[in-house]
Structure 1
């Protein structure tokens, strides 16, 4: 059914303050699959909070997270119809540990695709140092609300599709997901029951609970940092992608990466494209 756009636009998305502790940074990295290779010392700075730490750039997406506010009836949205569509991330500075951060999330646009079609919700989050006001990261999120169109809004010009490079990728990184990974990942702040409750997943049309889109993104970020940055997180400055299909916990993610910063990802077991239109700017990318 159509969204209640007046409720949506007037919803008070909370401003959130969070201290980025070493334990939080380590847990996030573990929740997106880092540390599974005990013989790779390059991953230790991301997961060993007893030493000097490096924060995986994609953690900016969950820090000071306002929570699943679209699940609140006051938002005017049916939460079972919410699907993460696209995500962009820009790192202005490296994420600092043992620091208070504050986020502000705003609605930039709501697009009506027509009666019986989706509504598109564009939101932007800024993440700043709570004391100095220094801008650390900015994110742009596209949410598809299935069947939410027809509320009387206007459409938007379609975005131009990105062309992937010709030829084979320069790097292929296979990363396994764990059966319980969505249950760990939701402890980062996204409590959408779609990722935990089989009945909710079935109501939304899925065979079982699916992995968070941002968890899949975090795994892809790991692959980019490994392939293009030799695990130097500060070299990854921007990334954007489109979510093409869900990942089920327990499946294997295959990331295909080109030196120019293009990337995509597949589920090996089902041969399904799950991440499309990927682009990043990294230290060794062209």
Structure 2
């Protein structure tokens, strides 16, 4: 069972990573950039040899991981039943090539939904330059702890989500995923066997290994950059969304966008909503 005070005060190891152009190119490839060999706007993000290669701001979500702290038995979290529910990011400065970054992570809020109903845990992560202390991004994750309700914690407040416009989207972008895409994306550092091992996926109730939710986030970020930002990563100031269902590698992800930065996404062939309540903040060009 969760000990709330211990969880809120748990010392989480600082993450540290040397960010290279090769890392940035791998991340861009893993979320679908470069599939069109004639689209030079996409190719700019996957060519680590060319000077001035831009780095995708939402790559912040995979940088400087803080280790498997959540699986520490002392915390009482049923790690095998944890689901990533929501993710938000605020981008404060462009990510650097060939620099070292550090990440400070803390638990900021826990909501007890009741016995048999699970709990919500919100974490905050600051991504900083290891030398100058420049803050590049602030990330908030909401995790659904399905096996941890009823520990006597607060029943709220529950983080609010963005309400989508009640009209047809202004734009639609279809992004195909590849059958091996989860195997490529996991090279960013998330080696959960659910995304690679058919037996583990079957035990979890899936017909095949599923795509990482954060890879689907990257697909949505791609659609936003293409449609609303002219492939200029400096224009994207924030990104938030709710995960609704997994994508299967090979699905076509249809991202529906509104001009105010609202968006959602569905797996087209299965007509399944996979991302909901999305909102991007944008700077003027």
- TM normalised by structure 2 equals 0.93
Deviations 1:30-82 (A, max 9, x none): 01111111010001221000012101111011111224433444543233211
Q: Is 1:166 aligned with 2:166?
A: yes
Show the counterpart of 1:242. Answer: 242
Contact 1:169 1:258 in 2 (8 A): yes
Show the counterpart of 2:44. Answer: 45
Show the counterpart of 2:96. Answer: 96
Deviations 1:84-136 (A, max 9, x none): 10000000001111111111010111211110111111101000111111111
Moved more, 244-253 or 62-71: 62-71
Show the counterpart of 2:55. Answer: 55
For residues 12-23 of structure 1, the aligned pairs below 5 Å read 12-23=11-22
Distance 1:209 1:262 in 2: 29
For residues 93-242 of structure 1, the aligned pairs below 5 Å read 93-242=93-242
Shift in CA distance, 206/152, structure 1 to aligned 2, threshold 3 Å: farther
Distance 2:130 2:174 in 1: 37
Contact 2:8 2:108 in 1 (8 A): no
Moved more, 224-233 or 61-70: 61-70
Distance 2:206 2:193 in 1: 12
Distance 1:208 1:73 in 2: 29
Contact 1:238 1:281 in 2 (8 A): yes
Contact 2:113 2:149 in 1 (8 A): yes
- TM normalised by structure 1 equals 0.93
Distance 2:74 2:55 in 1: 35
Question: Structure 1 residue 147: deviation in Å?
Answer: 2.6
Question: Structure 1 residue 148: deviation in Å?
Answer: 1.6
Gaps of 5+ in 2: none
Q: CA RMSD in A?
A: 1.9
Shift in CA distance, 192/79, structure 1 to aligned 2, threshold 3 Å: farther
Show the counterpart of 1:36. Answer: 35
Contact 1:259 1:284 in 2 (8 A): no
Distance 1:69 1:246 in 2: 24
Contact 1:164 1:277 in 2 (8 A): yes
Moved more, 181-190 or 73-82: 73-82
Question: Structure 1 residue 199: deviation in Å?
Answer: 3.1
Matched positions, count: 284
Contact 2:18 2:101 in 1 (8 A): yes
Moved more, 130-139 or 71-80: 71-80
Contact 1:68 1:190 in 2 (8 A): no
Contact 1:80 1:203 in 2 (8 A): no
Shift in CA distance, 70/193, structure 1 to aligned 2, threshold 3 Å: farther
Deviations 1:131-167 (A, max 9, x none): 1111110000000111321122121133445332233
Deviations 1:162-195 (A, max 9, x none): 3322332221111111122112111212222222
Shift in CA distance, 145/200, structure 1 to aligned 2, threshold 3 Å: farther
For residues 57-96 of structure 1, the aligned pairs below 5 Å read 57-96=57-96
Distance 2:115 2:222 in 1: 39
